[in-house]
């Protein structure tokens, strides 16, 4: 299988490497020379341009920062140069409207297209254990799943074009809200003199149980190892959470959905990011609620 991989950053670098490791021919392109050199070291074939990379490809995978980058790459490089019938899979996290627009343009050009954003950070990208949520025609899903296999732990068909992006932003809005609720509860427990490890055990086995409590506890030394145990370094950056919450709010406004908790979460994460903590893991917002924000390393 010939793959074109465009966007070899923190996520795309490891994902392209896993495609090459699986024995596929990977024509890789990024604007960054360093990223291209790393791709070469990982068994990919660096291309001179995105247009060059897509010419021979059965499958074109993009992993770019935002909707504008994806729209531009599709219009200028991918749609005019892809082989007839090629399968285009955008794994970036972008707005639903851009996802639907590029898929419609691809269809008009005689190509097949899917949106397949991921859950899991750079560690999962490197390990090939990402979760993909896919928006694609029913008839194309098996081909999408096969193309993503070397990078995937699980691949779920969310629905038609754009449904993968819809699932991604709804999931991450839920995560942002649940993390803030978790942080508030631990901060209140502390003020009430409750030991954090006792509260962790109780909430983990009671109706407050959620992933933010049991698997990603924001309190240092409590529960399994998380970014809280390493000064909130690494993990899922506040800037990334804020990007996803903004996408959710824009989508909610367009769809006429009421998302007051999502709006609160966006406002709180924007406040936290603007104070200089956009690079901290998103669970570090606990320190803001505790009144201990100055203990955090600034960007």
Applying CB under 6 A, does 32 fall inside the site for ligand NAD? yes
Residues 58-87 that bind ligand NAD (CB under 6 A): 63-65, 69, 73
| CA diameter of the chain | 66
Q: Could you give the CA distance from residue 114 to residue 103 in angstroms, rounded to a whole number?
A: 7
The whole-angstrom separation of Cα 97 and Cα 114 is 13
| Known active-site residue 297 | no
Q: Which is nearer to ligand NAD, 81 or 243 (CB)?
A: 243
Q: Residue ranges of the alpha helices (H) in the chain?
A: 12-21, 33-41, 50-54, 67-73, 79-81, 96-108, 122-127, 141-148, 163-191, 196-204, 211-214, 238-255, 260-272, 285-290
Cβ 83 vs Cβ 55: under 8 Å? yes
- Measured from each CB, the residue nearest to ligand NAD is 9
Q: Give the number of residues in contact with ligand NAD, rule: CB under 6 A.
A: 26
Cβ–Cβ under 8 Å, residues 168 and 133:
yes
One character per residue 161-190, x = contact with ligand NAD (rule: CB under 6 A)? ------------------------------
Q: How many other CB atoms are there within 10 angstroms of residue 167's CB atom?
A: 19
Class of residue 126 by CB neighbours under 10 A (exposed 0-12, middle 13-18, buried 19+): middle
Binding status of residue 28 toward ligand NAD by CB under 6 A: no
Q: How far is the CB of 11 from ligand NAD (least distance, A)?
A: 3
**233-272 residues near ligand NAD, rule: CB under 6 A:** 236, 240, 243
Tell me whether residue 73 or residue 173 sits nearer to ligand NAD (CB atom). 73
**Residue 275 gets which letter from DSSP?**
I
Per CB under 6 A, which of residues 89..128 are in contact with ligand NAD?
92-93, 118, 121-122
For ligand NAD, which residue of 6, 111, 185, 268 counts as binding (CB under 6 A)? 6
Check residue 29 for interaction with ligand NAD (CB under 6 A).
yes
Closest C-alpha to 217, from 172, 179, 268, 262: 179
Pairing of strands 130-135, 118-119: antiparallel
Residue among 12 and 223 whose Cβ is closer to ligand NAD:
12
Are the beta carbons of 132 and 140 closer than 8 angstroms? no
What interhelical angle do 238-255 and 163-191 show, nearest 10?
Answer: 120
Residue 148 is a binding residue for ligand NAD (CB under 6 A) = no
Site for ligand NAD in 199-238 (CB under 6 A): 236
Which position among 108, 168, 243, 297 bears the catalytic label? 168
Interaction with ligand NAD in 38-57: which residues (CB under 6 A)? 50
**Judged by CB under 6 A, which stretch of 5-13, 185-193, 246-254, 264-272 contacts ligand NAD?**
5-13
Active site (catalytic) residues: 168
Residues forming the site for ligand NAD (CB under 6 A): 6-12, 29-32, 35, 50, 63-65, 69, 73, 92-93, 118, 121-122, 236, 240, 243
């Amino acid at each position: 299988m010939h793959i074109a991989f465009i966007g070899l950053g923190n996520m795309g670098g490891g994902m392209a490497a896993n495609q090459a490791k699986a024995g596929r021919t990977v024509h890789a392109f990024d604007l960054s020379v360093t990223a291209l050199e790393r791709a070469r070291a990982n068994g990919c074939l660096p291309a001179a341009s995105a247009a060059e990379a897509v010419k021979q490809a059965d499958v074109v995978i993009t992993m770019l920062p935002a909707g504008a980058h994806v729209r531009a790459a599709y219009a200028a490089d991918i749609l005019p140069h892809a082989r007839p019938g090629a399968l285009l899979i955008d794994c970036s996290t972008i707005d639903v409207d851009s996802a639907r627009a590029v898929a419609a343009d691809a269809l008009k050009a005689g190509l097949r297209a899917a949106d397949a954003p991921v859950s899991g950070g750079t560690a999962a990208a490197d390990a090939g254990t990402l979760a993909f949520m896919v928006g694609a025609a029913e008839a194309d899903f098996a081909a999408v799943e096969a193309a993503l296999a070397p990078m995937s732990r699980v691949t779920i068909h969310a629905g038609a074009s754009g449904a993968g992006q819809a699932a991604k932003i709804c999931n991450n809005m839920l995560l942002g809200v649940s993390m803030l609720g978790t942080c508030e509860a631990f901060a209140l427990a502390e003020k009430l003199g409750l030991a954090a490890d006792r509260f962790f055990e109780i909430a983990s086995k009671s109706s407050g149980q959620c992933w933010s409590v049991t698997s990603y506890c924001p309190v240092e030394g409590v529960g399994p190892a998380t970014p809280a145990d390493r000064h909130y370094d690494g993990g899922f950056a506040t800037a990334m959470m804020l990007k996803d919450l903004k996408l959710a709010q824009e989508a909610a406004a367009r769809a006429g959905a009421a998302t007051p908790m999502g709006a609160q979460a966006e406002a709180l994460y924007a406040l936290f990011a603007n104070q200089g903590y956009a690079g901290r893991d998103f669970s570090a917002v606990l320190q803001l609620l505790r009144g201990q924000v100055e203990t955090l390393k600034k960007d």
